[in-house]
């Protein structure tokens, strides 16, 4: 059985009664400086669909020096936030007509470098680096030597180059403004300083309170340093939950306990709720609890958790848009920027006035 010959622009031009160049311009969606009537565009499109025209991506790539394919490395696919981010960047890319291939790097710097080496191949027009981890910084500093456009997404503030991230400073201000408005002055911090974003959140927390003359006793800083962050360990959330129970109870057993606890991640806050309950106390009557991230579990607990929701869809969309702009205009200095996306304060039932 003979194979049916592929339909090309020559066949479409003949059937539609137009020139080959007109078909090429319509199928490649060229509009700037091109005068083709609406009816002609519609006729060419209808004929191409009826004849079953399939564009040749490799020929298009040779002509335009673009493949329409971008890559990404997800540094923490097992985490709730970066797992969702991996999905959202895929959806954002699809809406913009580009293909996105996502690879996974475990918690070793050399694995990140291996993924970056793959993304330097001719298949990819550019790439995203999703997330952060403690030993990622050495690899990240090599990004400036790469010859492909890239955007870091939800990475640390010292990552070089273009970046899209949640506005952490604004988020911390929102949550602490809320607690202070409820009368809280004795506010504790809980988080593992081995976890990438926790040190930044602690510094912002500390700066906010210091600027308002509010004392932060060392005993109110519950650094869960016996919980090192390992992206490859998929029981991480359960362990965060358990250590948060212990640290919450230590905070509340002090002679002068805090009236509110700010947790650097929702997983710690969910453990804090359980720790309070195990002591025979209640949230928010005895202590208020807040956190950062806005994960799904925060509305399914009792009481529902007041948290800062990171805008995953907005971050993903902005990251794809910035990367595509860099691919189109790699030498535009205005695109070497950092986009900070505003988080949303979700007020629920875990905080009360004092």
pLDDT 10s per residue in the chain (354 long)? 445 567 888 899 999 999 988 888 888 765 545 678 889 999 999 999 899 888 765 555 545 567 788 999 887 777 778 889 999 999 999 998 888 998 877 656 667 777 777 777 767 899 998 887 655 556 666 665 667 898 989 876 667 789 999 999 999 999 999 999 999 999 999 988 777 678 889 999 999 999 999 988 999 998 776 554 454 455 677 778 888 999 999 999 999 999 999 999 998 999 999 999 999 999 999 999 999 999 888 888 999 999 999 999 999 999 999 999 999 898 899 998 999 999 999 999 999 999
Compute the distance between CA of residue 168 and CA of residue 333 in angstroms, rounded to an integer.
Answer: 25
Check if CATH label 1.10.260.40 holds for domain 9-55: yes
SS3 content of the chain, % helix, strand, coil (to 5): 45, 15, 40
Give the DSSP H or E segment for 232.
Answer: none
Topology match between the domains 67-166+312-342 and 168-310: yes
What pLDDT, on the 0 to 100 scale, is given for residue 136?
A: 58
Query: Residue 10: phi, psi to the nearest 5?
Result: -65, -45
CATH superfamily membership of 168-310 = Response regulator (3.40.50.2300)
Which tokens in the block code for residue 347?
């007020």
Give the DSSP H or E segment for 222.
Answer: strand 221-223
Q: How far is C-alpha 4 from the chain's CA centre?
A: 45
CA angle (244, 310, 201) in 5-degree steps: 55
Compute the distance between CA of residue 120 and CA of residue 133 in angstroms, rounded to an integer.
Answer: 22
What pLDDT, on the 0 to 100 scale, is given for residue 162?
A: 92
Q: How far is C-alpha 3 from the chain's CA centre?
A: 46
* Length of the chain (residues): 354
Instruction: Specify whether the CB–CB gap between 131 and 159 falls below 8 A.
Output: no
Which tokens in the block code for residue 67?
């493949």
Compute the distance between CA of residue 288 and CA of residue 352 in angstroms, rounded to an integer.
Answer: 6
Q: How far is C-alpha 195 from the chain's CA centre?
A: 16
Which tokens in the block code for residue 170?
């604004």
Instruction: Specify whether the CB–CB gap between 276 and 248 falls below 8 A.
Output: yes
Domain boundaries along the sequence of the chain: 9-55, 67-166+312-342, 168-310
List, in sequence order, every residue forming a beta bridge with 102; answer none if it has no partner.
Answer: 72
Extended strands (E) in 228-324? 260-263, 288-293, 306-309
Instruction: Output the CA–CA distances (angstroms, integers) from residue 88 to 57, 100, 314, 320, in the order listed.
Output: 25, 11, 9, 10
Compute the distance between CA of residue 143 and CA of residue 152 in angstroms, rounded to an integer.
Answer: 10
Query: What is the Cβ-side half-sphere exposure of residue 72, based on CA atoms within 13 angstroms?
Result: 30
Annotation: CATH topology of 67-166+312-342: Rossmann fold (3.40.50)
Which tokens in the block code for residue 159?
């990552």
Compute the distance between CA of residue 305 and CA of residue 301 in angstroms, rounded to an integer.
Answer: 7
Q: Is the pTM for the entire model greater than 0.75? A: yes
Query: Over the Cα atoms of the chain, what is R_g?
Result: 26
């Amino acid at each position: 059985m003979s194979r049916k010959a592929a339909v090309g622009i020559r066949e479409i031009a003949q059937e539609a009664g137009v020139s080959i160049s007109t078909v090429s311009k319509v199928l490649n969606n060229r509009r700037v400086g091109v005068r083709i009537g609406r009816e002609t565009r519609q006729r060419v499109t209808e004929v191409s669909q009826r004849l079953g025209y399939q564009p040749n991506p490799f020929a298009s790539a040779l002509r335009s020096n673009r493949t329409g394919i971008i890559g990404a490395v997800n540094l923490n696919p097992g985490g709730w936030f970066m797992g969702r981010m991996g999905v959202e960047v895929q959806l954002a890319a699809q809406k913009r007509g580009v293909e996105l291939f996502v690879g996974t790097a475990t918690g070793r710097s050399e694995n990140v470098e291996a993924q970056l080496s793959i993304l330097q191949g001719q298949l990819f027009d550019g790439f995203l680096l999703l997330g952060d981890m403690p030993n990622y910084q050495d690899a990240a500093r090599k990004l400036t030597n790469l010859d492909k456009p890239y955007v870091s997404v939800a990475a640390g503030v010292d990552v070089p180059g273009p970046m899209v991230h949640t506005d952490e400073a604004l988020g911390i201000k929102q949550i602490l403004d809320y607690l202070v408005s409820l009368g809280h002055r004795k506010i504790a911090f809980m988080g593992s300083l081995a976890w990438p974003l926790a040190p930044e959140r602690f510094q912002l927390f500390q700066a906010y309170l210091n600027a308002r003359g509010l004392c932060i006793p060392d005993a109110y800083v519950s650094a869960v340093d016996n919980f090192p962050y390992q992206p490859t360990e998929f029981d991480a959330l359960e362990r965060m939950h358990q250590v948060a129970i212990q640290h919450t109870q230590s905070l509340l057993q002090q002679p002068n306990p805090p009236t509110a606890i700010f947790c650097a991640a929702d997983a710690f806050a969910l453990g804090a709720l359980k720790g309070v309950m195990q002591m025979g106390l209640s949230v928010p009557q005895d202590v208020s609890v807040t956190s950062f991230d806005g994960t799904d579990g925060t509305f399914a607990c009792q009481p529902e958790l007041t948290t800062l929701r990171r805008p995953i869809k907005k971050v993903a969309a902005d990251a794809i848009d910035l990367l595509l702009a860099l691919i189109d205009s790699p030498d535009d200095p205005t695109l070497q920027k950092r986009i900070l996306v505003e988080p949303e304060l979700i007020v629920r039932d875990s905080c009360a006035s004092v």
